[in-house]
Amino acid sequence: MTAFEKFLAGFTMMIFGTILNGIYFKHFWEWFVVQPFPQLPSLSIIQSIGFAFFLSVYTEGTSKSKDEITKELLLSMFKAFFTGSAVFGVGYLIHLMYQQ
């Protein structure tokens, strides 16, 4: 795999993971924030992506070497598909248990 292909794969996974996390955040917001506090508005997917990005800016941030960045890229690809989906599934089950 060439360097460009690695970059393209990582960039694609980053975009896909961002959209997927925005969708997850939107649903969690509606399930766990809007239901107990109905005066708060629902969020669109774009607003959810922006809010999640805003939070990530303030929660991450140390300089890393090239090898660490490569390992983290692979880990973030894994997280984009599996971890987010698993957390979403558990959240959905909790939502169903406490649904009014």
DSSP annotation string for 17-65: HHHHHHHHHHHHHIIIIITT-TTSPP--HHHHHHHHHHHHHHH------
pLDDT of the residue at 44: 92
Q: Domain coordinates of the chain in residue numbers? A: 3-97
**pLDDT tens digits, residue range 43-81?**
999 999 888 888 777 776 555 666 776 777 777 777 777
pTM score of the predicted model: 0.64
**pLDDT tens digits, residue range 19-45?**
888 898 999 999 989 988 989 999 999
